[in-house]
């Protein structure tokens, strides 16, 4: 017979009672000694029996079903996360942008120049993700940034999104990686394994204007560890 957690509490006491009965002894008398109190040998068994009765209601309500997830969502990006893939939350990017909001500088119509040109005044460190090559037109700022409102990004479909959803722009060309990111095979997630999780957006690791990782400098060698055994 297989006993569950509810029945297993009383098994030791039941076996003890059965053993005393087979020996022809009074299980309450405990070796025939009654006196003002029970014998010292009975006290642990009786105390365990009483404890089992006290804990029985808790075990009776014991369920193998997982408890409802009520843990709060961890926020590591400065503010509540935004909805993300597979029920996870995407950590917000806007609080981390140094030059946001863009309308601090781009506030009038003359501040939006649609002409493709070399930027030699501001944003000189920005590199166009796709340079011009045969059969492919060079991309420009307004391929991703909404002309007239640089606080917004724009998808190829014309849908406007904010910087917290920039992973959608990356997925327009890198759909295979976006699919892996959705399934936790690419990128980095934080939070809980069995509860709410957060995922970093693409620009958290990749430069959005030059996303390819640079090769490591193999000439630099690591510092050998100090042998602390001999120091001690």
Domain extent listing, the chain: 5-60, 82-118+126-204
3-class DSSP assignment, residue 54: helix
Where b means 16+ CB within 10 Å and e means fewer, 204-221 reads bebebeeeeeeeeeeeee
Tell whether the model's pLDDT for residue 132 goes beyond 50: yes
Question: What is the arithmetic mean of pLDDT over 13-22?
Answer: 61
For residue 99, give both structure tokens.
């030059």
Pairing of strands 189-191, 197-199: antiparallel
Regarding predicted confidence, which is higher, 106 or 37?
A: 106
Residue 158: band (very low, low, confident or very high) from pLDDT cuts 50, 70, 90: very high
According to DSSP, residue 164 is labeled G
Q: Which long-range contacts (CB under 8 A, 24 or more apart) does 127-134 make?
A: 127/207, 127/209, 127/210, 128/209, 129/208, 129/209, 129/210, 129/211
Q: What is the pTM of this model?
A: 0.52
Q: Which residue has the tokens 């408890």?
A: 67
pLDDT per residue over 92-104, tens digit each? 888 888 878 887 7
* Contact between 153 and 146 (Cβ < 8 Å): yes
């Amino acid at each position: 017979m297989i006993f569950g957690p509810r029945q297993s509490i009383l098994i030791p006491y039941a076996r003890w009672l059965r053993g005393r009965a087979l020996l022809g002894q009074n299980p309450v008398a405990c070796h025939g000694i009654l006196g003002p109190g029970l014998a010292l040998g009975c006290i642990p068994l009786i105390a365990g029996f009483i404890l089992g009765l006290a804990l029985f209601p808790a075990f009776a309500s014991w369920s193998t079903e997982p408890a409802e997830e009520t843990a709060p969502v961890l926020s590591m990006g400065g503010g509540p996360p935004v909805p993300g893939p597979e029920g996870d939350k995407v950590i917000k990017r806007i609080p981390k942008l140094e030059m946001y909001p863009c309308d601090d500088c781009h506030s009038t119509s003359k501040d939006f120049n649609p002409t493709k040109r070399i930027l030699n005044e501001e944003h000189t460190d920005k590199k166009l993700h796709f340079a011009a090559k045969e059969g492919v037109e060079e991309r420009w700022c307004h391929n991703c940034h909404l002309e007239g409102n640089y606080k917004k990004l724009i998808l190829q479909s014309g849908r406007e999104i904010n910087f917290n959803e920039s992973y959608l722009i990356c997925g327009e060309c890198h759909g295979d990686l976006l699919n892996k990111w959705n399934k936790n095979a690419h990128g980095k997630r934080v939070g809980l394994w069995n509860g709410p999780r957060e995922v970093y957006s693409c620009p958290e690791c990749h430069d959005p204007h030059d996303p390819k990782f640079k090769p490591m400098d193999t000439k630099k060698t690591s510092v050998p560890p100090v042998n602390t055994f001999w120091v001690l």
